Structure 1
Amino acid sequence: MGLFGFLSKQFVDVIDWVDEPGTLAVRHPMQGRAIQSGAQLTVRDGQVVLFHREGQLADAFHPGLHTLETGNLPLLTALLNWDKGFASPFTADVTFFSQKEQTGRKWGTTQPITVRDPEFGALRVRAFGSYSFRIEQVAAFAVKLMGSLERVTVADIEPQLRAAIAAALASALGTGEIAFIDLAANQTALSERLKAAVDPAFAQWGLACTSFYIESLSLPEEVQAMLDKASAMRVAGDVDTFARFQAAAAPSGEDATVQIEKLHRLVTIGAITQQEFDAKKSELLGRIR
């Protein structure tokens, strides 16, 4: 049976709703109809039902089969000034909320975010990933996102969620504390950091961000090309340095002390490490003992 299967009847005595993919909340305002006292309300696993009367939140029902009467409608009873045991039909808005986790949602930066990188200066970064969420605080969601709407879907609120993610991303990366190369190399830690930044924004709407992942961090093509060129130059420099190191350390007619002096100059200018110098120095000294 779909939502309120007895809509053709003046008095509704069976109320239920089967979750629909991508739907977070559904309300039926009972236009011209009344709920029969003793009506059966079915709340399935992962659902919460709220009753409203004249714009005011009233009673909430969690999973189970409920018989609607004054005993389990205390707030609505108070709003309507019912006497205990009141058994006449009544009107109220009934809203079903799905607390099912909405998985596999995608997010991404529509425009590059400018961040201050400690190594390369200002960089424009793009980021993409996935996240999941669910309704955590039903009352907050009802007031801040549902309002007077009859239906709220994931598609309705996703632009707002993505905007919150983009703001959190810009704030987290804008400090420039971590170099872009290090960020890209440790996406798990960055994902956790960004989830912590996203959580408060989701919470204000009654939502919980249950998972958050960065799947890609990238730079504009022209910036990436410049970094690739710089990296290639560094590699070429390393190769040249290694060749000079090998030449200086190779057996030759030169005195060992002369070769050690050459190696020491390479250490001084930073062309080789102290560890490499010490190893070759020991090797050269060993030949003359």
Structure 2
Amino acid sequence: MGFFNFFKSQFIEVIEWTDQSSNTMVYRFPVQNNEIKMGASLIVRESQVAIFVNEGEIADVFTPGHHVLYTQNMPILTKLKSWKTGFNSPFKAEVYFINTKQFVDQKWGTSNPIMMRDPDFGIIRLRGYGIYSYRVSEPVIFLKELFGTNASYDTSSIEGHLKKMILSGLTDLFAESQIPALDLAMHYDELSNEGKDKMQERFAKFGFEITSLYIENLSLPKEVEQAMDKRTTMGVLGNLNTYTQYQAAEALRDAARNEGGGMAATGAGIGAGAAIGNVMANALNQNQQQATPPAEPAKMACPHCQAQIRVSAKFCPDCGKSVQQKTIPCINCKAEIKEGSKFCGECGTKQVTEKICNSCGTVNGPTAKFCGDCGEGLEG
């Protein structure tokens, strides 16, 4: 029986791996005390990569397909020559199967709140969670940097480290984005894509490629959410003065319906009525103050461009010309009147602008007493 088992162990074997779980990343073949023989068949399936390690060194990387291995482990002959080592071959060779499929639905979440400065609420504490997926893109780097010579390796072995890397990157991303807390929900997709790009370099150091990252929810502390609810309520109520009047009227109606008797109830009703009256008076006064617009300054038309300007203005803001009216003295009472006026506003005297000589027809000034041409008197 022992001799038969000896020869059975020397048959050319088929090396393959069928994954029975959803989170195994690495499987090492053979297990302890098994040896890879000359001419062994290697079957690599889709979504797998096989790394052949011969005498402690990476010899080759096999992609999906059928491969034949040639090592120093010669069938039968190796066993016969290995009697000094207890029939354990001194030539060891190993095959590591690397699972290259995507490992999806990996969860991340904030164990502690993220402190942020918000333009609306000041300093806030932000919590969030979501999912991500990744796969092995560089099997050799993955072997050297992570699992080494372990017989198996699954996602739980690296889950904690990857989650902390993602949280570190997203915390930095949220702070740099400076997006207000009220607007975070509309930027989930943008933040997810930026977070994925930010993680690529970090994942590549372990031979990984992050294929997706999603933010499912970003939530604020209960106190901030209550403040947001109050702000929403204020927006729904609209004009607070009108709402105050409504509340006062409702309180007055409730007080009038109070059927409680006695002087105490009467006094309480009087006090409540006075308080409500004060509230309503204040609300009405505020509404009247808000409803009365400030008086606008008196305006007039510019004599040059007809633009509307203030009466007290000295120059027109549109054309820049002076708007001050020129004055002349009344020919009778010497009061200042607007140039070109036909009558004096003080004494009512008609303002003659010129005098024509009856003798020679010469036009003289309004204050002339004798004709400047013929010397004839102009009075009378």
> What is the TM-score normalised by the length of structure 1?
0.70
Residues 232 and 25 from structure 1, CA distance in 2 versus in 1: closer, same or farther, beyond 3 angstroms? Answer: same
Is the contact made by 2:117 and 2:123 (CA closer than 8 Å) also made in structure 1? yes
Residues 43 and 262 from structure 1, CA distance in 2 versus in 1: closer, same or farther, beyond 3 angstroms? Answer: same
For 1:69 and 1:193, locate their aligned partners in 2 and report how far apart those are by CA, in whole Å. Answer: 47
Residues 138 and 68 from structure 1, CA distance in 2 versus in 1: closer, same or farther, beyond 3 angstroms? Answer: same
Q: Deviations over 1:171-223 (max 9, x none)?
A: 10122521122222221111111111222221111111111111111012222
For 1:48 and 1:158, locate their aligned partners in 2 and report how far apart those are by CA, in whole Å. Answer: 21
Match of 1:66 in 2: 67
Cα distance, 1:241 vs structure 2: 8.2
Residues 234 and 62 from structure 1, CA distance in 2 versus in 1: closer, same or farther, beyond 3 angstroms? Answer: same
Match of 1:151 in 2: 152
Q: Deviations over 1:238-278 (max 9, x none)?
A: 344899xxxxxxxxxxxxxxxxx95978xxxxxxxxxxxxx
Residues 263 and 95 from structure 1, CA distance in 2 versus in 1: closer, same or farther, beyond 3 angstroms? Answer: farther
In the alignment, structure 1 residue 14 sits paired with structure 2 residue 14 = yes
> What is the TM-score normalised by the length of structure 2?
0.54
Cα distance, 1:30 vs structure 2: 5.2
Is the contact made by 2:10 and 2:37 (CA closer than 8 Å) also made in structure 1? no
Question: What's the % identity of the aligned pairs?
Answer: 39
Cα distance, 1:57 vs structure 2: 2.1
Deviates more, 1:100-109 or 1:175-184: 175-184
Match of 2:182 in 1: 181
Q: 3-state SS of the aligned residue for 2:61? A: strand
Cα distance, 1:66 vs structure 2: 0.6
Q: 3-state SS of the aligned residue for 1:123? A: strand
For 1:239 and 1:221, locate their aligned partners in 2 and report how far apart those are by CA, in whole Å. Answer: 27
Is the contact made by 1:113 and 1:126 (CA closer than 8 Å) also made in structure 2? yes
Cα distance, 1:98 vs structure 2: 0.6
For 1:264 and 1:46, locate their aligned partners in 2 and report how far apart those are by CA, in whole Å. Answer: 77
Structure 1, unaligned runs of 5 or more = 1-7, 71-87, 244-260, 266-289
Cα distance, 1:145 vs structure 2: 1.5
Relative contact order, CA 8 A, sep 6+: which one is greater?
1
Q: 3-state SS of the aligned residue for 2:13? A: strand
For 1:169 and 1:209, locate their aligned partners in 2 and report how far apart those are by CA, in whole Å. Answer: 14
The count of aligned residue pairs is 225
In the alignment, structure 1 residue 222 sits paired with structure 2 residue 218 = no
Is the contact made by 2:48 and 2:99 (CA closer than 8 Å) also made in structure 1? yes
Is the contact made by 1:117 and 1:176 (CA closer than 8 Å) also made in structure 2? no
Match of 1:99 in 2: 100
Residues 263 and 103 from structure 1, CA distance in 2 versus in 1: closer, same or farther, beyond 3 angstroms? Answer: farther
Match of 1:128 in 2: 129
- Select the structure of larger CA radius of gyration: 2
Q: 3-state SS of the aligned residue for 1:163? A: helix
Match of 2:256 in 1: none
Structure 2, unaligned runs of 5 or more = 1-7, 72-88, 244-289, 295-380
Q: Note the 1:1-289 alignment, pairs <5 A.
A: 9=9, 13-20=13-20, 21-28=22-29, 31-69=32-70, 90-175=91-176, 177-236=178-237, 238-240=238-240
Is the contact made by 2:55 and 2:92 (CA closer than 8 Å) also made in structure 1? no
Q: 3-state SS of the aligned residue for 1:36? A: coil
- The answer to which structure has the higher strand fraction is 1
The amino acid that maps onto 2:183 is: D
